[in-house]
Structure 1
Amino acid sequence: MTVYSKIIGTGSYLPARRVGNDELAAELAAKGIETSDEWIVSRSGISARHYAAAGQNSSDLAVEAAHRALAMAGKSPAEIDMVIVASSTPDFQGSFPSTACIVQQKLGMLNGSAAFDVQAVCSGFVYALATADAFIKSGMHRTVLVIGAEVFSRILNFEDRTTCVLFGDGAGAVVLTASQEPGILASKLHADGTHADILSIPPNPAGSPASGGFLHMDGQAVFKLAVTVLEEVAVEVLAAAQMQACDVDWLIPHQANIRIMKSTAKKLGLPIERMVVTVHEHGNTSAASIPLALDLAVRDGRIKAGDNILMEGVGGGFTWGAILARM
């Protein structure tokens, strides 16, 4: 009997503090940095983002999203036999334990389930979901909690208006379980380390790991590469599933820039109305962006049982990937 992995629950969480463009522009102006709502929206499509409170870490956001995903799935923490957290902003920057282990502890999971982090930046959730799918299909695990969680506000240089206006904090989660019904139909993952320098956190002057460093991004280089690889990997994953773009009910791309997202939809021949968009309200939440958008569309009724969902992301590394899933 063929074993599939299927998403049976979704959840998300955004920190309470919502920061609109006008508020952010005023804060930056106090530092002598000029920007405006029009400038930010015209370049990214972003109108607002959420920031975590002091002392609120990625694991805290992850736990809130996990509780909601578990509730939808009708599962208790004790029924989860693996936790995978995708994050570029772990609780312990450049160190350990993994955020997944902290989430496991905060959820009260005392069953000895496996727990580990995945680092693929904005592609992290796609990488984590593909990993969970492989573990379930192999028979090694049955029910996996997959989370993307970020507090990017902690690694932003608020004197660099080209990056600090783009990112926000949040978490999204799914419960993936073994099923006789097709769920994850295909996945494709890629990386090209020759582009490592276009999106990174350079070591601080002392040469230590990411701790204390700020995000650096070559926006034009990222844009150019993203629009190319997102189309290519979408075509690749559709071919692997023996499907065509017209079979896709909903496209959920990484929520980084509305221009990249619209370009991807256009190249695939998908109407904008079939793309889930949250970037205007969430900003770029890195590994959290796809599961945040997925949960929103599931809960507002757009995504229904049986729908085919194409999820794809690009991130520092340079990494990219796509997953085609049937809900």
Structure 2
Amino acid sequence: MKSGHVFRGLNGALKGFSRIERWVWIGVLVALVISTLIRAAAALSPSLGTWAQEAGHTSALVFNTVGLAQAVTLSIVVAMPLLRYMLTRNPAGELAKALQTNRQSYLLEDLRRLTEHGELRFPAEELQIVSDNEALKEFSRINTECFEESANYSGDYVDKLLRNTSIQERYPKSFAYVLDEAGQRMGISMVIPMNPTGTLLYKKGALSDHDVMDIAVASMGEPCGCILLFAIGMLTDYRPDGGKSGGTQAIRTLIRSHVQHIWRVASDFDLETVPFIMQVERPSIVRMARMFGFRKLDQYGADGDPLFEITWPELREKLKSIS
């Protein structure tokens, strides 16, 4: 049990690395620990010293192998961070990043028009509210697929369907598909109005995303404590490395449709005063949240990730200031 906790802790510490890098690091550290323990045991145990003298070539082979393992693993420990730094700072990569940022100016203009004037510069049909039980089943399947690699938010399809059904019964506009230019489903948006009790529990870190049910949701005409920006998800094929072209356009479509969804849900309550809250797992989304003016709250969510908050007027003013 303890070794399992150690492994999960180590895996969490390497959360910012790719999956391959994580396994390389874990393997290197395991080899380093084992080889160090062998050398320490040899130094401290007289019986091993006697065996080494009697075994001759065998003992030399063992200790040479251990020494080589230590040398290699220590070299990797030193070299990998340097290599990673060099690869992430290469001029071509920085240029590509700058070009992508420039292309996102179109997204910023989409959002400014919506927050300032309540107008859409893009087709409203990109967002398709889930309206019946059959659609919700498919939505929950996609929900499961989008988060299957998440450390904190992956889960069983049946559990997600049960939760989503409970939420939708209280507020039918909580879930929506995001459609591409051809009208195909490329992602999902989840925006949930929370009643004051649900809001309090969520902000205190006492309500997990897995446990949000109808009892915490505000229905039309009821007091709303916050609009929970529950999740956005993109199908694998539409991600920048997923095989389809136009990854940047897909991200633009997903984000602006999510903001349209937020606008539509919040307008059913009080767009100008009800705060928006989200719990964020990925560092890339944290950076985006800060760029858009979200405030990080002191309390962490029940799932272990930081909470962020903003209001519609604050988002509107922040978008005006972003060049």
- Whichever structure has more helix as a proportion of its residues is 2
Higher relative contact order (CA 8 A, sep 6+): 1
- Whichever structure has more strand as a proportion of its residues is 1
- Bigger radius of gyration, 1 or 2? 2
Q: TM-score, normalised by structure 2?
A: 0.30
